[in-house]
Protein backbone atom coordinates (compact mmCIF):
# COMPACT_ATOMS: atom_id res chain seq x y z
CA UNK A 1 0.00 0.00 0.00
CA UNK A 2 1.16 3.53 -0.69
CA UNK A 3 2.40 5.58 2.22
CA UNK A 4 -0.31 7.92 3.46
CA UNK A 5 2.39 10.18 4.84
CA UNK A 6 3.72 11.22 1.49
CA UNK A 7 1.25 13.78 0.24
CA UNK A 8 2.58 13.48 -3.28
CA UNK A 9 1.72 9.82 -3.39
CA UNK A 10 -1.91 9.93 -2.30
CA UNK A 11 -2.65 13.41 -3.54
CA UNK A 12 -0.80 15.91 -5.70
CA UNK A 13 1.22 18.28 -3.56
CA UNK A 14 3.00 21.60 -4.03
CA UNK A 15 5.79 21.40 -6.60
CA UNK A 16 9.23 21.81 -4.97
CA UNK A 17 9.74 25.36 -6.22
CA UNK A 18 6.49 26.50 -4.55
CA UNK A 19 7.27 24.64 -1.33
CA UNK A 20 10.67 26.35 -1.23
CA UNK A 21 9.10 29.74 -1.89
CA UNK A 22 6.52 29.30 0.89
CA UNK A 23 9.24 28.23 3.33
CA UNK A 24 11.55 31.06 2.34
CA UNK A 25 8.73 33.60 2.76
CA UNK A 26 8.24 32.34 6.30
CA UNK A 27 4.71 31.03 5.77
CA UNK A 28 5.64 27.43 6.44
CA UNK A 29 7.42 27.59 9.78
CA UNK A 30 8.37 23.93 10.07
CA UNK A 31 6.10 23.33 13.07
CA UNK A 32 3.73 20.47 13.84
CA UNK A 33 0.49 20.54 15.84
CA UNK A 34 1.94 18.24 18.46
CA UNK A 35 5.03 20.42 18.76
CA UNK A 36 3.02 23.65 19.02
CA UNK A 37 0.98 22.31 21.93
CA UNK A 38 4.15 21.12 23.67
CA UNK A 39 5.71 24.56 23.26
CA UNK A 40 2.63 26.43 24.56
CA UNK A 41 2.46 24.09 27.56
CA UNK A 42 6.10 24.86 28.33
CA UNK A 43 5.80 28.63 27.95
CA UNK A 44 2.51 29.14 29.82
CA UNK A 45 1.54 25.89 31.54
CA UNK A 46 -1.16 27.29 33.83
CA UNK A 47 -3.22 29.27 31.36
CA UNK A 48 -6.61 27.78 30.53
CA UNK A 49 -6.56 26.26 27.05
CA UNK A 50 -9.97 24.65 26.96
CA UNK A 51 -13.34 24.86 28.70
CA UNK A 52 -16.14 22.32 28.27
CA UNK A 53 -18.97 24.10 30.06
CA UNK A 54 -21.40 21.15 30.10
CA UNK A 55 -21.99 20.22 33.76
CA UNK A 56 -19.75 19.48 35.51
CA UNK A 57 -17.83 22.36 33.90
CA UNK A 58 -14.36 21.03 32.98
CA UNK A 59 -11.23 23.03 32.21
CA UNK A 60 -7.80 22.08 30.86
CA UNK A 61 -4.71 24.21 31.36
CA UNK A 62 -2.14 24.02 28.57
CA UNK A 63 -0.07 21.72 30.77
CA UNK A 64 -3.02 19.45 31.54
CA UNK A 65 -4.05 19.28 27.89
CA UNK A 66 -0.50 18.49 26.82
CA UNK A 67 -0.16 15.75 29.48
CA UNK A 68 -3.52 14.22 28.62
CA UNK A 69 -2.66 14.27 24.91
CA UNK A 70 0.63 12.43 25.65
CA UNK A 71 -1.18 9.77 27.65
CA UNK A 72 -3.91 9.33 25.06
CA UNK A 73 -1.37 9.13 22.24
CA UNK A 74 0.55 6.44 24.13
CA UNK A 75 -2.68 4.49 24.67
CA UNK A 76 -3.60 4.73 20.99
CA UNK A 77 -0.15 3.49 20.03
CA UNK A 78 -0.48 0.61 22.51
CA UNK A 79 -3.66 -0.35 20.65
CA UNK A 80 -1.84 -0.43 17.35
CA UNK A 81 -2.60 3.02 15.93
CA UNK A 82 0.41 4.12 13.93
CA UNK A 83 1.73 7.11 12.06
CA UNK A 84 -0.23 7.48 8.82
CA UNK A 85 -3.28 5.50 9.99
CA UNK A 86 -6.65 7.12 9.46
CA UNK A 87 -9.10 7.54 12.34
CA UNK A 88 -12.66 8.75 11.73
CA UNK A 89 -13.53 11.22 14.50
CA UNK A 90 -17.22 11.98 14.94
CA UNK A 91 -17.59 14.00 18.11
CA UNK A 92 -19.78 16.93 19.06
CA UNK A 93 -18.36 19.98 20.86
CA UNK A 94 -16.83 18.20 23.86
CA UNK A 95 -13.37 18.50 25.39
CA UNK A 96 -12.45 14.99 24.28
CA UNK A 97 -12.62 16.15 20.66
CA UNK A 98 -9.59 18.36 21.23
CA UNK A 99 -7.74 15.69 23.23
CA UNK A 100 -8.32 13.03 20.57
CA UNK A 101 -7.23 15.05 17.56
CA UNK A 102 -4.07 16.32 19.27
CA UNK A 103 -3.23 12.76 20.36
CA UNK A 104 -3.58 11.67 16.73
CA UNK A 105 -1.52 14.67 15.54
CA UNK A 106 1.21 13.73 17.96
CA UNK A 107 1.36 10.18 16.59
CA UNK A 108 1.04 11.38 13.00
CA UNK A 109 -2.21 9.44 12.57
CA UNK A 110 -4.77 11.34 10.51
CA UNK A 111 -8.13 12.38 11.92
CA UNK A 112 -10.90 12.21 9.32
CA UNK A 113 -13.42 14.81 10.50
CA UNK A 114 -16.96 13.49 10.27
CA UNK A 115 -19.85 15.72 11.38
CA UNK A 116 -22.11 14.69 14.26
CA UNK A 117 -25.01 14.75 11.77
CA UNK A 118 -23.48 12.06 9.54
CA UNK A 119 -25.13 8.65 9.51
CA UNK A 120 -24.43 5.15 8.29
CA UNK A 121 -24.15 5.95 4.61
CA UNK A 122 -21.50 8.65 5.11
CA UNK A 123 -19.61 7.00 7.99
CA UNK A 124 -19.34 3.61 6.30
CA UNK A 125 -18.00 5.38 3.25
CA UNK A 126 -15.39 7.40 5.19
CA UNK A 127 -14.23 4.29 7.05
CA UNK A 128 -13.92 2.10 4.00
CA UNK A 129 -12.57 4.71 1.59
CA UNK A 130 -9.82 5.75 4.00
CA UNK A 131 -9.20 2.20 5.36
CA UNK A 132 -9.72 3.72 8.81
CA UNK A 133 -8.42 1.66 11.71
CA UNK A 134 -10.53 3.38 14.37
CA UNK A 135 -13.70 5.39 14.81
CA UNK A 136 -14.33 7.74 17.76
CA UNK A 137 -17.90 8.53 18.82
CA UNK A 138 -20.06 9.90 21.63
CA UNK A 139 -22.50 7.45 23.28
CA UNK A 140 -25.46 9.47 22.17
CA UNK A 141 -25.83 12.89 20.64
CA UNK A 142 -28.99 14.83 19.77
CA UNK A 143 -31.10 11.79 20.64
CA UNK A 144 -29.13 9.45 18.38
CA UNK A 145 -27.24 6.35 19.57
CA UNK A 146 -23.84 6.38 17.90
CA UNK A 147 -22.84 3.03 19.42
CA UNK A 148 -25.47 1.20 17.37
CA UNK A 149 -24.31 3.04 14.26
CA UNK A 150 -20.71 2.02 15.00
CA UNK A 151 -21.71 -1.65 15.31
CA UNK A 152 -23.28 -1.54 11.85
CA UNK A 153 -20.31 0.31 10.36
CA UNK A 154 -17.89 -2.26 11.80
CA UNK A 155 -19.63 -4.95 9.83
CA UNK A 156 -19.18 -2.95 6.62
CA UNK A 157 -15.61 -1.68 7.08
CA UNK A 158 -13.17 -4.53 7.66
CA UNK A 159 -10.22 -2.19 8.29
CA UNK A 160 -11.88 -0.87 11.45
CA UNK A 161 -10.23 -2.41 14.50
CA UNK A 162 -11.41 -0.09 17.25
CA UNK A 163 -14.41 1.99 18.19
CA UNK A 164 -13.71 4.41 21.04
CA UNK A 165 -16.65 5.87 22.92
CA UNK A 166 -16.73 9.10 24.93
CA UNK A 167 -18.87 8.27 27.98
CA UNK A 168 -19.28 5.59 30.65
CA UNK A 169 -21.35 3.10 28.70
CA UNK A 170 -19.44 2.03 25.59
CA UNK A 171 -21.59 -1.08 25.00
CA UNK A 172 -19.62 -3.56 22.91
CA UNK A 173 -16.97 -0.93 22.13
CA UNK A 174 -14.06 0.57 24.13
CA UNK A 175 -14.47 3.51 26.52
CA UNK A 176 -12.07 6.28 25.50
CA UNK A 177 -11.38 6.82 29.21
CA UNK A 178 -9.68 3.40 29.31
CA UNK A 179 -7.20 4.26 26.59
CA UNK A 180 -4.66 6.64 28.21
CA UNK A 181 -1.45 5.07 29.44
CA UNK A 182 2.09 6.08 30.50
CA UNK A 183 3.54 8.52 27.94
CA UNK A 184 6.09 7.06 25.56
CA UNK A 185 8.58 8.57 23.11
CA UNK A 186 6.92 8.96 19.73
CA UNK A 187 8.42 9.33 16.33
CA UNK A 188 5.83 11.89 15.23
CA UNK A 189 5.17 13.49 11.86
CA UNK A 190 7.27 15.94 9.85
CA UNK A 191 5.88 19.46 9.24
CA UNK A 192 5.41 18.83 5.52
CA UNK A 193 3.43 15.67 6.11
CA UNK A 194 -0.33 15.27 6.33
CA UNK A 195 -2.04 16.30 9.56
CA UNK A 196 -5.64 15.29 8.77
CA UNK A 197 -8.28 14.76 6.13
CA UNK A 198 -11.06 17.36 6.02
CA UNK A 199 -14.33 16.82 4.13
CA UNK A 200 -15.23 18.83 1.07
CA UNK A 201 -18.68 20.33 0.66
CA UNK A 202 -18.74 18.37 -2.54
CA UNK A 203 -20.53 18.45 -5.84
CA UNK A 204 -20.35 14.75 -6.58
CA UNK A 205 -21.97 11.59 -5.28
CA UNK A 206 -19.50 11.24 -2.42
CA UNK A 207 -17.65 13.90 -0.42
CA UNK A 208 -14.01 14.27 -1.40
CA UNK A 209 -11.29 14.23 1.22
CA UNK A 210 -9.02 17.23 1.63
CA UNK A 211 -5.43 16.43 2.67
CA UNK A 212 -3.95 19.22 4.80
CA UNK A 213 -0.37 19.31 6.03
CA UNK A 214 0.95 20.68 9.34
CA UNK A 215 2.88 23.40 7.51
CA UNK A 216 0.05 24.66 5.34
CA UNK A 217 -2.74 24.53 7.90
CA UNK A 218 -0.65 26.13 10.64
CA UNK A 219 0.02 29.01 8.28
CA UNK A 220 -3.71 29.50 7.73
CA UNK A 221 -4.07 29.63 11.53
CA UNK A 222 -1.42 32.18 12.40
CA UNK A 223 -2.29 34.21 9.30
CA UNK A 224 -5.91 34.28 10.50
CA UNK A 225 -4.82 35.16 14.02
CA UNK A 226 -2.94 38.24 12.80
CA UNK A 227 -5.95 39.43 10.81
CA UNK A 228 -8.51 38.78 13.54
CA UNK A 229 -6.34 40.02 16.40
CA UNK A 230 -6.27 36.69 18.22
CA UNK A 231 -3.84 36.57 21.14
CA UNK A 232 -3.40 34.93 24.53
CA UNK A 233 -6.28 37.02 25.94
CA UNK A 234 -8.76 35.81 23.33
CA UNK A 235 -11.67 33.79 24.71
CA UNK A 236 -13.29 32.10 21.71
CA UNK A 237 -16.71 30.41 21.78
CA UNK A 238 -17.07 27.48 19.36
CA UNK A 239 -20.78 27.49 18.53
CA UNK A 240 -20.73 25.66 15.18
CA UNK A 241 -19.81 21.95 15.04
CA UNK A 242 -16.09 21.87 15.90
CA UNK A 243 -15.32 19.50 13.01
CA UNK A 244 -16.18 22.12 10.39
CA UNK A 245 -13.19 23.81 8.83
CA UNK A 246 -14.55 27.29 9.59
CA UNK A 247 -14.86 27.07 13.41
CA UNK A 248 -11.66 25.02 13.43
CA UNK A 249 -9.41 27.45 11.63
CA UNK A 250 -10.92 30.82 10.84
CA UNK A 251 -9.40 31.62 13.28
CA UNK A 252 -11.28 28.93 15.13
CA UNK A 253 -10.34 26.77 18.05
CA UNK A 254 -7.06 25.66 16.53
CA UNK A 255 -6.06 29.26 15.82
CA UNK A 256 -6.86 30.28 19.38
CA UNK A 257 -4.85 27.37 20.81
CA UNK A 258 -1.96 28.37 18.55
CA UNK A 259 -2.08 31.85 20.11
CA UNK A 260 -2.27 30.51 23.67
CA UNK A 261 -5.83 31.79 24.19
CA UNK A 262 -8.88 30.04 25.66
CA UNK A 263 -11.37 27.91 23.72
CA UNK A 264 -14.88 27.42 25.11
CA UNK A 265 -17.02 24.73 23.49
CA UNK A 266 -20.74 25.55 23.25
CA UNK A 267 -22.94 22.45 23.16
CA UNK A 268 -25.44 24.26 20.89
CA UNK A 269 -25.44 27.52 18.90
CA UNK A 270 -28.81 29.05 19.87
CA UNK A 271 -28.90 32.25 21.95
CA UNK A 272 -30.51 30.45 24.90
CA UNK A 273 -27.38 28.28 25.17
CA UNK A 274 -24.73 30.63 23.85
CA UNK A 275 -25.64 34.00 25.44
CA UNK A 276 -25.31 32.73 29.05
CA UNK A 277 -21.91 31.29 28.03
CA UNK A 278 -20.79 34.57 26.48
CA UNK A 279 -21.61 36.23 29.81
CA UNK A 280 -20.24 33.63 32.23
CA UNK A 281 -17.11 32.78 30.21
CA UNK A 282 -16.43 36.42 29.21
CA UNK A 283 -16.25 35.49 25.53
CA UNK A 284 -14.43 37.95 23.27
CA UNK A 285 -14.80 36.30 19.86
CA UNK A 286 -16.91 33.79 17.96
CA UNK A 287 -17.77 32.68 14.42
CA UNK A 288 -21.32 32.28 13.07
CA UNK A 289 -23.04 31.30 9.83
CA UNK A 290 -25.53 33.84 8.41
CA UNK A 291 -28.77 32.22 9.70
CA UNK A 292 -27.32 32.10 13.22
CA UNK A 293 -26.07 35.67 12.94
CA UNK A 294 -29.68 36.68 12.16
CA UNK A 295 -31.00 34.88 15.23
CA UNK A 296 -28.28 36.34 17.47
CA UNK A 297 -28.92 39.84 16.10
CA UNK A 298 -32.66 39.54 16.72
CA UNK A 299 -32.27 38.05 20.19
CA UNK A 300 -29.63 40.44 21.49
CA UNK A 301 -32.02 43.35 22.12
CA UNK A 302 -34.17 41.41 24.56
CA UNK A 303 -31.49 39.45 26.35
CA UNK A 304 -30.74 39.80 30.05
CA UNK A 305 -27.27 38.33 29.52
CA UNK A 306 -24.22 40.57 29.46
CA UNK A 307 -22.68 40.40 25.98
CA UNK A 308 -20.36 43.34 26.53
CA UNK A 309 -17.16 41.27 26.49
CA UNK A 310 -17.75 40.39 22.80
CA UNK A 311 -15.24 42.24 20.64
CA UNK A 312 -15.50 40.48 17.29
CA UNK A 313 -18.04 38.24 15.57
CA UNK A 314 -17.10 36.55 12.31
CA UNK A 315 -19.82 35.63 9.84
CA UNK A 316 -19.28 33.32 6.87
CA UNK A 317 -19.85 29.92 5.30
CA UNK A 318 -22.61 31.30 3.08
CA UNK A 319 -23.53 34.71 1.70
CA UNK A 320 -24.43 37.21 4.41
CA UNK A 321 -26.89 39.76 3.13
CA UNK A 322 -25.80 43.35 3.30
CA UNK A 323 -28.98 44.38 5.15
CA UNK A 324 -28.40 41.74 7.82
CA UNK A 325 -24.71 42.66 8.07
CA UNK A 326 -25.60 46.30 8.78
CA UNK A 327 -27.64 45.29 11.83
CA UNK A 328 -25.06 43.10 13.56
CA UNK A 329 -22.65 45.62 15.08
CA UNK A 330 -25.29 47.85 16.72
CA UNK A 331 -27.24 44.84 17.99
CA UNK A 332 -24.35 42.89 19.48
CA UNK A 333 -22.17 45.85 20.41
CA UNK A 334 -19.06 44.41 18.77
CA UNK A 335 -17.16 44.41 15.48
CA UNK A 336 -18.23 42.34 12.47
CA UNK A 337 -15.81 40.54 10.16
CA UNK A 338 -17.00 38.65 7.08
CA UNK A 339 -15.17 35.47 6.15
CA UNK A 340 -15.37 33.65 2.84
CA UNK A 341 -13.38 30.46 2.93
CA UNK A 342 -13.27 26.85 1.86
CA UNK A 343 -11.92 23.67 3.40
CA UNK A 344 -9.72 23.25 0.31
CA UNK A 345 -7.74 26.31 1.39
CA UNK A 346 -8.25 29.97 0.45
CA UNK A 347 -9.78 32.09 3.21
CA UNK A 348 -10.73 35.76 2.81
CA UNK A 349 -11.53 38.18 5.61
CA UNK A 350 -12.64 41.76 5.73
CA UNK A 351 -10.09 43.66 7.82
CA UNK A 352 -10.45 45.42 11.15
CA UNK A 353 -9.33 48.66 9.49
CA UNK A 354 -11.66 48.33 6.47
CA UNK A 355 -14.24 51.09 6.21
CA UNK A 356 -17.72 50.03 7.43
CA UNK A 357 -19.18 49.84 3.90
CA UNK A 358 -16.51 47.36 2.82
CA UNK A 359 -17.22 45.20 5.87
CA UNK A 360 -20.94 44.91 5.11
CA UNK A 361 -20.71 44.73 1.33
CA UNK A 362 -17.74 42.43 0.59
CA UNK A 363 -16.44 39.05 1.63
CA UNK A 364 -12.91 40.27 2.19
CA UNK A 365 -9.33 39.78 1.04
CA UNK A 366 -7.18 36.63 1.05
CA UNK A 367 -5.03 35.87 4.10
CA UNK A 368 -1.75 35.75 2.24
CA UNK A 369 0.10 38.07 -0.16
CA UNK A 370 0.96 34.82 -1.95
CA UNK A 371 -2.65 33.69 -2.39
CA UNK A 372 -3.05 33.89 -6.14
CA UNK A 373 -6.61 34.73 -7.13
CA UNK A 374 -7.91 34.68 -10.69
CA UNK A 375 -11.38 35.65 -11.90
CA UNK A 376 -11.99 33.98 -15.27
CA UNK A 377 -14.67 33.37 -17.89
CA UNK A 378 -15.90 29.96 -19.07
CA UNK A 379 -12.78 29.61 -21.25
CA UNK A 380 -10.42 30.30 -18.32
CA UNK A 381 -9.58 33.77 -19.67
CA UNK A 382 -9.11 36.48 -17.05
CA UNK A 383 -11.98 38.96 -16.87
CA UNK A 384 -11.25 42.64 -16.15
CA UNK A 385 -11.53 43.75 -12.52
CA UNK A 386 -15.13 44.42 -11.57
CA UNK A 387 -16.48 41.77 -13.92
CA UNK A 388 -18.14 38.55 -12.73
CA UNK A 389 -16.22 35.32 -13.21
CA UNK A 390 -15.16 31.96 -11.84
CA UNK A 391 -12.82 32.17 -8.87
CA UNK A 392 -9.61 30.15 -9.29
CA UNK A 393 -6.95 30.08 -6.60
CA UNK A 394 -3.52 28.75 -5.78
CA UNK A 395 -1.38 29.44 -2.74
CA UNK A 396 0.51 28.39 0.38
CA UNK A 397 -2.46 26.75 2.12
CA UNK A 398 -4.66 25.71 -0.83
CA UNK A 399 -4.44 22.03 -1.72
CA UNK A 400 -3.19 20.91 -5.12
CA UNK A 401 -5.50 17.89 -5.20
CA UNK A 402 -7.99 15.80 -3.23
CA UNK A 403 -6.93 12.59 -1.53
CA UNK A 404 -7.00 9.57 -3.85
CA UNK A 405 -9.20 11.20 -6.50
CA UNK A 406 -7.12 11.60 -9.69
CA UNK A 407 -10.08 11.85 -12.09
CA UNK A 408 -11.86 14.41 -9.99
CA UNK A 409 -8.61 16.34 -9.57
CA UNK A 410 -8.26 16.67 -13.33
CA UNK A 411 -11.57 18.57 -13.35
CA UNK A 412 -11.21 20.53 -10.11
CA UNK A 413 -7.71 21.91 -10.74
CA UNK A 414 -6.18 23.62 -13.74
CA UNK A 415 -3.00 22.26 -15.31
CA UNK A 416 -1.15 25.03 -13.44
CA UNK A 417 -2.50 23.87 -10.10
CA UNK A 418 -5.25 26.45 -9.53
CA UNK A 419 -8.24 25.13 -7.60
CA UNK A 420 -11.57 25.73 -9.34
CA UNK A 421 -13.66 26.94 -6.39
CA UNK A 422 -16.97 26.84 -8.27
CA UNK A 423 -17.78 30.28 -6.87
CA UNK A 424 -18.72 33.25 -9.06
CA UNK A 425 -17.11 36.40 -7.74
CA UNK A 426 -16.33 40.00 -8.58
CA UNK A 427 -13.21 41.85 -7.45
CA UNK A 428 -13.48 45.44 -6.24
CA UNK A 429 -10.76 48.04 -6.95
CA UNK A 430 -9.31 47.38 -3.47
CA UNK A 431 -9.02 43.66 -4.27
CA UNK A 432 -11.91 42.66 -2.01
CA UNK A 433 -13.98 39.78 -3.32
CA UNK A 434 -17.77 39.82 -3.53
CA UNK A 435 -19.44 36.44 -3.90
CA UNK A 436 -22.07 36.81 -6.60
CA UNK A 437 -23.17 33.25 -7.14
CA UNK A 438 -22.08 29.71 -7.77
CA UNK A 439 -21.30 27.67 -10.85
CA UNK A 440 -20.87 24.35 -9.02
CA UNK A 441 -23.80 22.01 -8.55
CA UNK A 442 -24.05 22.41 -4.80
CA UNK A 443 -26.65 23.64 -2.33
CA UNK A 444 -25.54 25.89 0.53
CA UNK A 445 -28.16 25.33 3.22
CA UNK A 446 -27.22 27.92 5.83
CA UNK A 447 -23.53 26.99 5.57
CA UNK A 448 -24.06 23.21 5.37
CA UNK A 449 -23.14 22.08 1.88
CA UNK A 450 -25.22 19.48 0.00
CA UNK A 451 -24.09 17.74 -3.19
CA UNK A 452 -27.35 17.27 -5.15
CA UNK A 453 -25.87 14.26 -6.93
CA UNK A 454 -25.51 12.39 -3.64
CA UNK A 455 -29.25 12.74 -2.93
CA UNK A 456 -30.22 12.12 -6.55
CA UNK A 457 -28.30 8.82 -6.48
CA UNK A 458 -30.18 7.76 -3.37
CA UNK A 459 -33.58 8.62 -4.85
CA UNK A 460 -32.84 6.89 -8.14
CA UNK A 461 -32.76 3.65 -6.16
CA UNK A 462 -36.43 4.12 -5.19
CA UNK A 463 -38.54 1.64 -7.20
CA UNK A 464 -41.18 4.24 -8.10
CA UNK A 465 -38.71 6.91 -9.23
CA UNK A 466 -37.89 7.29 -12.91
CA UNK A 467 -35.70 10.39 -12.61
CA UNK A 468 -34.85 13.06 -10.06
CA UNK A 469 -33.17 16.44 -9.93
CA UNK A 470 -32.30 18.21 -6.68
CA UNK A 471 -31.84 21.98 -6.69
CA UNK A 472 -31.48 24.81 -4.16
CA UNK A 473 -34.29 27.33 -3.83
CA UNK A 474 -33.98 30.70 -2.10
CA UNK A 475 -34.94 30.79 1.55
CA UNK A 476 -35.14 33.93 3.63
CA UNK A 477 -33.61 32.36 6.71
CA UNK A 478 -31.28 29.59 5.45
CA UNK A 479 -30.25 31.29 2.21
CA UNK A 480 -31.23 28.13 0.36
CA UNK A 481 -33.34 25.04 0.92
CA UNK A 482 -33.33 21.87 -1.14
CA UNK A 483 -36.06 20.87 -3.54
CA UNK A 484 -36.29 17.45 -5.20
CA UNK A 485 -38.07 17.38 -8.54
CA UNK A 486 -39.22 13.80 -9.07
CA UNK A 487 -40.53 12.04 -12.19
CA UNK A 488 -42.35 8.86 -11.21
CA UNK A 489 -42.34 5.74 -13.35
CA UNK A 490 -45.35 5.49 -15.65
CA UNK A 491 -46.64 2.42 -13.85
CA UNK A 492 -45.86 3.62 -10.30
CA UNK A 493 -48.44 4.27 -7.59
CA UNK A 494 -48.55 7.94 -6.61
CA UNK A 495 -46.09 8.84 -3.82
CA UNK A 496 -46.42 11.47 -1.13
CA UNK A 497 -43.59 13.96 -0.55
CA UNK A 498 -43.18 12.69 2.99
CA UNK A 499 -42.50 9.17 1.66
CA UNK A 500 -39.75 10.54 -0.56
CA UNK A 501 -38.13 12.30 2.40
CA UNK A 502 -38.46 9.21 4.58
CA UNK A 503 -36.77 7.11 1.89
CA UNK A 504 -33.74 9.42 1.91
CA UNK A 505 -33.61 9.53 5.70
CA UNK A 506 -33.82 5.73 5.97
CA UNK A 507 -30.81 5.38 3.71
CA UNK A 508 -28.83 6.79 6.63
CA UNK A 509 -27.70 10.25 5.61
CA UNK A 510 -27.31 13.46 7.63
CA UNK A 511 -30.69 15.09 8.29
CA UNK A 512 -29.68 18.37 6.63
CA UNK A 513 -29.41 16.54 3.31
CA UNK A 514 -33.04 15.29 3.31
CA UNK A 515 -34.92 17.39 0.71
CA UNK A 516 -36.92 20.17 2.35
CA UNK A 517 -39.42 20.16 -0.53
CA UNK A 518 -40.52 17.53 -3.03
CA UNK A 519 -42.38 18.21 -6.23
CA UNK A 520 -43.64 15.67 -8.76
CA UNK A 521 -43.32 16.65 -12.40
CA UNK A 522 -43.83 14.96 -15.79
CA UNK A 523 -40.58 16.15 -17.36
CA UNK A 524 -37.49 18.25 -16.66
CA UNK A 525 -36.58 21.37 -18.60
CA UNK A 526 -33.68 20.63 -20.96
CA UNK A 527 -30.69 22.65 -22.01
CA UNK A 528 -29.87 22.98 -25.71
CA UNK A 529 -27.69 19.87 -25.55
CA UNK A 530 -30.28 17.69 -23.86
CA UNK A 531 -29.05 17.94 -20.28
CA UNK A 532 -31.35 18.80 -17.40
CA UNK A 533 -31.43 22.56 -16.96
CA UNK A 534 -31.09 23.11 -13.23
CA UNK A 535 -31.05 26.82 -13.91
CA UNK A 536 -34.61 26.63 -15.25
CA UNK A 537 -35.65 24.43 -12.37
CA UNK A 538 -34.25 26.89 -9.85
CA UNK A 539 -35.99 29.86 -11.41
CA UNK A 540 -39.26 27.89 -11.71
CA UNK A 541 -39.00 27.10 -8.00
CA UNK A 542 -38.53 30.80 -7.19
CA UNK A 543 -42.03 31.46 -8.57
CA UNK A 544 -43.53 29.33 -5.76
Q: Which residues lie closer than 8 Å to 543 by C-beta, 6 or more apart?
A: none
Among 92, 207, 291, 317, the residue binding ligand OOB under the rule CB under 6 A is 317
Instruction: Kindly indicate which of the ranges 79-87, 184-192, 278-286, 335-343 contains the residues binding ligand OOB, using the contact rule CB under 6 A.
Output: 335-343
Q: Which is nearer to ligand OOB, 77 or 318 (CB)?
A: 318
Q: Which is nearer to ligand OOB, 102 or 246 (CB)?
A: 246
The residues in 459-488 that bind ligand OOB, with binding defined as CB under 6 A, are none
One-character DSSP codes across 405-419: -HHHHHHHB-TT--E
User: Is 319 one of the binding residues for ligand OOB (CB under 6 A)?
Assistant: yes
Instruction: Kindly indicate which of the ranges 86-94, 108-116, 187-195, 334-342 contains the residues binding ligand OOB, using the contact rule CB under 6 A.
Output: 334-342
**Shortest Cβ 95–ligand OOB spacing (Å):** 23
- Sort strands 389-394 and 372-376 into parallel, antiparallel or unpaired: antiparallel
User: Is 449 one of the binding residues for ligand OOB (CB under 6 A)?
Assistant: yes
Strands (E), 433-514: 433-438, 443-445, 448-450, 465-475, 479-488
Residue (of 6, 8, 2) closest to 401 by Cα position: 8
Q: Which is nearer to ligand OOB, 300 or 315 (CB)?
A: 315
User: Is 260 one of the binding residues for ligand OOB (CB under 6 A)?
Assistant: no
Report d(CA 74, CA 81) in Å as an integer: 9
Among 203, 225, 250, 368, the residue binding ligand OOB under the rule CB under 6 A is 250
Instruction: Kindly indicate which of the ranges 39-47, 123-131, 312-320, 494-502 contains the residues binding ligand OOB, using the contact rule CB under 6 A.
Output: 312-320
User: Is 123 one of the binding residues for ligand OOB (CB under 6 A)?
Assistant: no
The residues in 199-228 that bind ligand OOB, with binding defined as CB under 6 A, are 201
Report d(CA 469, CA 484) in Å as an integer: 6
Binding mask of the shown chain, residues 409 to 448, with x at each position contacting ligand OOB by CB under 6 A: ------------x-x-----------x--x-----x----
Q: Which is nearer to ligand OOB, 332 or 435 (CB)?
A: 435
Residue (of 184, 171, 9, 10) closest to 82 by Cα position: 184
Strands (E), 310-418: 312-316, 335-342, 345-349, 365-366, 372-376, 389-394
Q: Which is nearer to ligand OOB, 392 or 488 (CB)?
A: 392
User: Is 342 one of the binding residues for ligand OOB (CB under 6 A)?
Assistant: yes
Residue sitting closest to ligand OOB (CB): 341
Binding footprint of ligand OOB, residue count (CB under 6 A): 22
Per DSSP, 244 falls in state S
Report d(CA 447, CA 292) in Å as an integer: 10
Q: Which residues lie closer than 8 Å to 54 by C-beta, 6 or more apart?
A: 94, 267
User: Is 192 one of the binding residues for ligand OOB (CB under 6 A)?
Assistant: no
Instruction: Calculate the CA 207 to chain-centre distance.
Output: 12
The residues in 346-375 that bind ligand OOB, with binding defined as CB under 6 A, are 347, 363
Q: Which is nearer to ligand OOB, 234 or 338 (CB)?
A: 338
User: Is 393 one of the binding residues for ligand OOB (CB under 6 A)?
Assistant: no
Backbone angles phi, psi at 344, to 5 degrees: -70, -20
- In three-state secondary structure terms, 126 is helix
Report d(CA 409, CA 396) in Å as an integer: 18
Binding residues for ligand OOB, rule: CB under 6 A, are 201, 245-246, 250, 316-319, 338-343, 347, 363, 421, 423, 435, 438, 444, 449
Amino acid sequence: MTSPLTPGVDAPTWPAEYAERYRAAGYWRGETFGGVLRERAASHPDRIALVDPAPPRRTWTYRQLDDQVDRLAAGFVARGIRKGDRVVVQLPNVGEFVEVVFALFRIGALPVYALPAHRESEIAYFCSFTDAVAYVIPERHAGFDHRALASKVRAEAPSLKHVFVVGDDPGEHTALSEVPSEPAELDGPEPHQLAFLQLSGGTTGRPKLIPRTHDDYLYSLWGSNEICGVDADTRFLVVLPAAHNYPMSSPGWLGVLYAGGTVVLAPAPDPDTAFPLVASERITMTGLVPPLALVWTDSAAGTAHDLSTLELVLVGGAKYSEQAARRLEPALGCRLMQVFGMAEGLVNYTRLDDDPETVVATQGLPISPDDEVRVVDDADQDVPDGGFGHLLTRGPYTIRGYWRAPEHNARSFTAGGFYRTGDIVRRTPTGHLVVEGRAKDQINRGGEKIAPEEIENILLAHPAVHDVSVVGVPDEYLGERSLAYVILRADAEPLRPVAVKRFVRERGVAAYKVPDLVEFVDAFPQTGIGKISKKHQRSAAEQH
